[in-house]
A and B are shown apart, each in its own frame.
Chain A
Amino acid sequence: GQQLNQSPQSMFIQEGEDVSMNCTSSSIFNTWLWYKQDPGEGPVLLIALYKAGELTSNGRLTAQFGITRKDSFLNISASIPSDVGIYFCAGISNFGNEKLTFGTGTRLTIIP
């Protein structure tokens, strides 16, 4: 099946630093989504991207839908303690079946 390669797997940063993570795929996606998951909770949608080349911001978060439709990145600026968690990218490859394919996740830890 389709796979999304997400990197890095984990990040250890200091508060205030910027963060960047990305997802790549061997196949085309028509929609890219970025989720954050806190312990014991389900993933929460952060940003949705629908067009190739689209750049979207949500507060300190910025995400882009790659031109080739095979990649996306998420940036977090000026990280704060509540940014800690696992970030997942997810893609939808066609409009007929809107099954989400998830990346393997990036675990973000903030070092005191």
Chain B
Amino acid sequence: GAGVSQSPSNKVTEKGKDVELRCDPISGHTALYWYRQSLGQGLEFLIYFQGNSAPDKSGLPSDRFSAERTGGSVSTLTIQRTQQEDSAVYLCASSTSRVRGYTFGSGTRLTVV
């Protein structure tokens, strides 16, 4: 597609449930990133995929968070046993090279009640 697509755009879940967030990057973009943005805050790095290299998971806040990228394209961020502090906007971005910068999706707003 023309841009980075994220789904769902909004998700309300009960504490303790698992959630899956999806990101469709721009076709041909080899790099994919997940960031988290809490209300009124900056963007917190979560995980980075680059081609076939091992992902950089250094930003994942706990072992309840995991992400995968299948076939070098679509990525899924999974949060297990959600907690209220997981409530935030989860943003995905993709890039083909640093020269072009990074294109962000509109995010998934996650609310844990």
Q: What's the tally of chain A residues with a CB closer than 8 Å to chain B?
A: 25
Q: Is B107 an interface position by the 8 A CB rule?
A: yes
> When the two chains form the complex, which single residue of A40, A92, A105 contacts B98, counting CB atoms closer than 8 Å?
A92
Produce 1/0 per residue, B77-103, CB < 8 A to A: 000000000000001010100110111
Q: A42-B107, A45-B102 are in contact. Are A98 and B50 (CB under 8 A)?
A: yes
Q: Is the CB of A45 within 8 A of B103?
A: yes
Q: How far is the CA of A33 from the CA of B104 in the complex (A)?
A: 13
Kindly state the interface size class of chain B when it binds its partner. 20 to 34
> When the two chains form the complex, which single residue of A31, A35, A41, A101 contacts B106, counting CB atoms closer than 8 Å?
A41
Produce 1/0 per residue, A41-80, CB < 8 A to B: 1111100101000000000000000000000000000000
Q: How far is the CA of A101 from the CA of B43 in the complex (A)?
A: 8
B residues in contact (CB < 8 Å) with A: 4, 31, 33, 35, 41-45, 48, 50, 56, 59, 91, 93, 95, 98-99, 101-107
A residues in contact (CB < 8 Å) with B: 6, 31, 33, 35, 40-45, 48, 50, 88, 90, 92, 95, 97-105
